[in-house]
């Protein structure tokens, strides 16, 4: 039996308890066995993974080091991996094999990690349930009739289901935090610009941010240390030095100030997650944290503003998929117009088309001021709300989602219901702040997540709070009974 956290696997590899080839072989077998249950992967790279694992074992034998040497993990299928198919869960890119590597993939490779495959996701990262994939819905390992959350649902299901100890995700409006919450794992959306976006297929460029997903905050600290840092080739990547995130873990919580937004807590909007969230507040209080009432007055405008800005950016980003340069091309086009129209009609799924339509409308000459400009103004107000709050507190606490995972099919008929799932995650995204989701309880047998948000580049504060919380609770140690581990 192999351990399932990054830290314990790296220790096991270092001590020689098992080799990278052994654990990689086992995880590939589990991933294959559970593909019909969870549908967590789009592509498994058995050959590439085993070769990389053997190489890591060889490197270890010859005394070489690497932060993640021999660690098996998976990438969300929007990180371009050179020579390995990258689909973004779209028919448009069904057979796209990138000629270059994303910076994130390159950094994992340089650290010696072994990518076993590419995880399923909502098409072009658009969704909150992982039901929008061209390769079929992902299922939640806690109960396969329920969604795993989206859009990094394949990554979350693969970790929760014991198929990999860690996976990458991307978060535009909640896509790391919400699936982490629904699947009972930990996930971090870093500050916008902390992790390079080069080679990460774009959805909404002013919001997209890659980050790690794993069982524990301790693991997130190790992984973020590998992913973060300036990339000269991404002009939006930050110059800010990367601190030692693992060193932050041991700092005590005593005396830290945590804000509770009254627009959530006093307005009775904590909803079904209330008992879990209250218990988490009590745990943090017992560790010496002080809770402070704060106000984020424009938070209710976040979902409408986000669902104008994100589609607007997506409509321009996705204009590159025209059937000419790369991606799906329709058969026998009559003329150029027909080539564009049919290639896009065939290549994109329903939700992606809905976003392109909404975004194009919001950016059109007659409506730009009414929708796009207004949404940008709201975004500024939300940013200012957070800036005000962080004058008084170190972190802000809230639920990740209004409830636990919902049933597959439950919200697909009503996009607005689906968008409202993002009510606690999108304000943070609009402001570009770092935010952590950690398991904090169970509701009807399904995990509930706690969200902690800090000021720009204060990922260390989140690591500290999250790790200290995990030292005193055991929600992060709970595993679904249907998981891929051999019992
Ligand atoms: N659910 C949100 C959306 O569909 C967020 C997705 C994401 O973060 N990629 O836009």
459 within ligand 1 shell (Cβ under 6 A): no
Q: Which residue has the tokens 């055991």?
A: 474
Task: Give the integer Cα–Cα distance in Å for 430 and 448.
Answer: 23
Give Rg (Cα) of the chain.
21
- 486 pLDDT band (50/70/90 cuts)? low
125 within ligand 1 shell (Cβ under 6 A): yes
What the block records as the tokens of 54 is 């053997």
Where in the chain are the domains? 6-248+434-477
Write the residue with the smallest CA distance to atom 5 of ligand 1. 173
Q: pLDDT over 70 for what percent of the chain?
A: 99
Evaluate if residue 485 carries a pLDDT over 70.
no
171 within ligand 1 shell (Cβ under 6 A): yes
Local structure of 22: helix, strand or coil:
helix
Q: Which residue has the tokens 């140690």?
A: 477
pLDDT in the model for residue 326: 86
* Tens-digit pLDDT profile for residues 437-480: 999 999 999 999 999 999 999 999 999 999 999 999 999 999 99
Q: How many residues can be counted in the chain?
A: 487
* Tens-digit pLDDT profile for residues 59-108: 999 999 999 999 999 999 999 999 999 999 999 999 999 999 999 999 99
174 within ligand 1 shell (Cβ under 6 A): yes
For range 429-436, the mean pLDDT: 98
Distance 205 CA to ligand 1 centre (A): 12
Catalytic residue among 151, 186, 196, 315: 151
Catalytic residue among 19, 20, 76, 404: 76
The H or E element spanning position 345 is helix 336-347
Evaluate if residue 484 carries a pLDDT over 60.
no
186 within ligand 1 shell (Cβ under 6 A): no
Mean residue pLDDT across the chain: 96
* Tens-digit pLDDT profile for residues 345-391: 999 999 999 999 999 999 999 999 999 999 999 999 999 999 999 99
Residue 252's region, left for phi above 0, alpha for psi from -120 to 50, else beta, is beta
102 within ligand 1 shell (Cβ under 6 A): no
95 is catalytic: no
152 is catalytic: no
Distance 175 CA to ligand 1 centre (A): 5
Q: Checking DSSP bridges between strand 41-44 and strand 446-454, what pairing results, if any? A: unpaired
* Tens-digit pLDDT profile for residues 276-323: 999 999 999 999 999 999 999 999 999 999 999 999 999 999 999 999
Most distant pair of Cα atoms in the chain: their distance: 70
Q: Of 115, 103, 33, nearest to 71 (Cα)?
A: 115
76 is catalytic: yes
| CATH topology classification for 6-248+434-477 | Amidase signature (AS) enzymes (3.90.1300)
Q: Phi and psi for 42 in degrees, rounded to 5?
A: -100, -40
- Range list of H helices, 370-432: 374-389, 415-420, 426-431
Q: Of 464, 386, 487, nearest to 430 (Cα)?
A: 386
pLDDT in the model for residue 482: 66
Task: Give the integer Cα–Cα distance in Å for 482 and 34.
Answer: 10
Catalytic residue among 128, 175, 237, 246: 175
Distance 52 CA to ligand 1 centre (A): 32
- 487 pLDDT band (50/70/90 cuts)? very low
């Amino acid at each position: 039996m192999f351990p399932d956290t990054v830290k314990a696997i790296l220790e096991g590899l270092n001590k020689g308890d098992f080799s990278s080839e052994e654990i990689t072989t086992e995880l590939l077998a589990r991933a294959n066995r559970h593909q019909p249950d969870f549908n967590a992967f789009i592509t498994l790279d058995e050959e590439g993974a085993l070769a990389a694992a053997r190489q890591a074992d060889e490197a270890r034998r010859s005394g070489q080091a690497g932060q993640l040497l021999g660690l098996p993990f998976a990438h969300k299928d929007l990180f371009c991996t050179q020579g390995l198919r990258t689909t973004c869960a779209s028919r448009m890119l069904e057979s796209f094999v990138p000629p270059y590597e994303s910076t994130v993939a390159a950094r994992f490779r340089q650290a010696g990690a072994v990518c076993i495959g590419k995880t399923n996701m909502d098409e072009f990262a658009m969704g909150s349930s992982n039901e929008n994939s061209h390769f079929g819905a992902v299922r939640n390992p806690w109960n396969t009739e329920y969604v795993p959350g989206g859009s990094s649902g394949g990554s979350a299901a693969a970790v929760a289901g014991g198929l990999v100890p860690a996976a990458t995700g991307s978060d535009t409006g909640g896509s790391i935090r919400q699936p982490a919450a629904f699947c009972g794992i930990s996930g971090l959306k870093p500050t916008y610009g902390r992790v390079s976006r080069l080679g990460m297929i774009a959805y909404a460029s002013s919001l997209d941010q890659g980050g790690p997903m794993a069982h524990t905050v301790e693991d997130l600290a190790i992984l973020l240390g590998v992913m973060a840092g300036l990339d000269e080739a991404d002009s939006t990547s930050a110059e800010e030095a990367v601190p030692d995130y693992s060193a932050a873990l041991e700092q005590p919580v005593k005396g830290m100030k945590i804000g509770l937004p009254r627009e959530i807590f006093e307005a009775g909007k904590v909803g079904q997650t209330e008992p879990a969230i209250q218990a988490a507040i009590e745990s943090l209080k017992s560790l010496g944290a002080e809770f402070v009432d704060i106000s984020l007055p424009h938070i209710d405008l976040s979902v409408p503003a986000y669902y104008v800005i994100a589609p607007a950016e997506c409509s321009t980003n996705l204009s590159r998929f025209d059937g000419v340069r790369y991606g799906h091309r329709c058969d026998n086009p009559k003329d150029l117009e027909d080539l564009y129209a049919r290639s896009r009609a065939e290549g994109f799924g329903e939700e992606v088309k809905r976003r392109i339509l909404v975004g194009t409308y919001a950016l059109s000459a007659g409506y730009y001021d009414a929708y796009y400009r207004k949404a940008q103004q709201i975004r500024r107000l939300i940013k200012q709300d957070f800036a005000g709050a962080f004058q008084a507190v170190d972190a802000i606490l809230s639920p990740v989602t209004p409830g636990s995972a919902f049933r597959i099919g439950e919200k697909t008929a009503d996009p607005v219901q689906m968008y409202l799932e993002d009510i606690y995650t999108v304000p943070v995204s609009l402001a570009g702040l770092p935010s952590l989701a950690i398991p904090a309880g169970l509701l009807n047998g399904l995990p509930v997540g706690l969200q902690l948000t800090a000021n720009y580049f204060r990922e260390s504060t989140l690591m500290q709070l999250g790790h200290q919380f995990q030292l005193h609770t055991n929600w992060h140690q709970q595993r679904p009974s249907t998981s891929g581990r051999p019992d």
